[in-house]
Amino acid sequence: MKPINVGLLGIGTVGGGTFTVLKRNAEEIARRAGRPIQIVVVADKNTELAKQVTGGACRITDDAFAVVNDPEVDIVVELIGGYGVAKELVLKAIENGKHVVTANKALLATHGNEIFAAAQKKGVMVAFEAAVAGGIPIIKALREGLTANRIEWIAGIINGTTNFILSEMRDKGLSFETVLKEAQRLGYAEADPTFDVEGVDAAHKLTIMSAIAFGNSMSFDKAHIEGISKLDAADIKYAEQLGYRIKLLGITKRTPEGVELRVHPTLIPAKRLIANVEGAMNAVLVKGDAVGPTLYYGKGAGAEPTASSVIADLVDVTRMHTADPEHRVPHLAFQPNAMVDLTILPLSEIITSYYLRLRVEDKPGVLADITRILADQQISIDAMIQREPGEGEEQTDIIMLTHQTREKNVDAAISKIEALAAVKGKLTRLRLEELL
């Protein structure tokens, strides 16, 4: 049978991995897809690298637009990244009637609504398994495997860099700055790690999963995004003492008022499986009404793990290449005419539990004043640690865990607590999820 011809845009880490795995497992992949899948042209500014990786097995060009305009190319694989030229290339490929496979979570989270609408109009597929959690087939699980379920919530460790940093901070008691330098030395963190450590990368991925889970449009601009750069090693230690681990989680929940869409450091009970995901690994916990909680774990980045997802998409597109567009799996799980614009809740309206740490003068009555303020805001305490002050110290730390309450109530309580004369400096507030 005639092979499917693929044009590859970008031969960096993931592009190189895709070429290597596709070549190595060509026979097995063809048996699964029903026909051979072959990369016929590669576009990369570094043509020497492209020639080196491909070994002369296909055409090489430095003009990506030549690939998306090539009539011989059936599927375009976009591995360039970013929002600019990648968007132009993807939309041009769609306009030319080509299917697209992409690992570009930033592009889909910010421009996915436009891209999927264009693909729907043209009757082509846009596949993006590799855009979220590297080699973990979480998109397929949400879109197909769990299709019988009403998804209630998703909570994911979906950035390996931050998970590595938090694991090292906990294991070695080191500061964020120290571990970040080590992560950069080992290649886990970029020279400019902002997208990772400030939660932006995780928010891109969470936006995509939320849209698939709930059938709402991409809403990246409404997500609450908070990273780990201000996290204190002391809070990781106190959390351990209380039986919790701190992870950077992407959380999206369906509530009667709307959808929660938030990324922030989160306390999780240490006995939960997801709390024990260490190093640069990823994990996504999905709660469906029929199936209950399901956990998806694996490598969230790297050449061959991500290539695994890219090639899985190539196989899917190849299988469905000649199918009636109306009978393909919808891009975002729900039929396009059944997508809705659900309200994305502001952070002030979310309901969760909290970890509070404050520095206070060691004298009678302070704790009573604090608990009275919390009670006035209808916040009840679940657990508490009051550290004994050292010899000669006149201040101490109080750490409290609350039961579930609304964020705006906690905001109001914090404002009043920080105004107390006996409270020194700013109060530290982290959110806590039981994930049941």
Kindly list the catalytic residues: 205
* 9 bridge partner residues: 43, 78
CB 66 within 8 A of CB 89: no
Name the token pair of 371.
Answer: 């608990």
Strand, helix or coil at 36?
Answer: coil
Q: How many whole angstroms separate alpha carbon 285 and alpha carbon 297?
A: 9
Q: How many whole angstroms separate alpha carbon 48 and alpha carbon 12?
A: 12
CB 142 within 8 A of CB 151: yes
Q: How far is CA 301 from CA 132, 148, 187, 281, 307, in A?
A: 9, 29, 12, 8, 9
* 426 bridge partner residues: none
52: left (phi over 0), alpha (psi -120 to 50) or beta: alpha
Phi, psi of 182 (to 5 degrees): -65, -40
Q: How far is CA 110 from CA 156, 200, 212, in A?
A: 20, 12, 15
- CA count, 13 A, side-chain hemisphere, 270: 12
* 29 bridge partner residues: none
Closest CA to 383 of 238, 214, 179: 238
Strand, helix or coil at 80?
Answer: coil
26: left (phi over 0), alpha (psi -120 to 50) or beta: alpha
**What number of H helices and E strands is found in the chain?**
15, 17
Neighbouring CB atoms inside 10 A of 39's CB total 23
Q: How many whole angstroms separate alpha carbon 53 and alpha carbon 11?
A: 8
- Amino acid making up residue 279: G
The sign one gets for the Cα dihedral 106, 110, 112, 115 is negative
Beta-strand pair 292-299/99-102: unpaired
Specify burial of residue 186 (Cβ count, 10 A radius: 0-12, 13-18, 19+). exposed
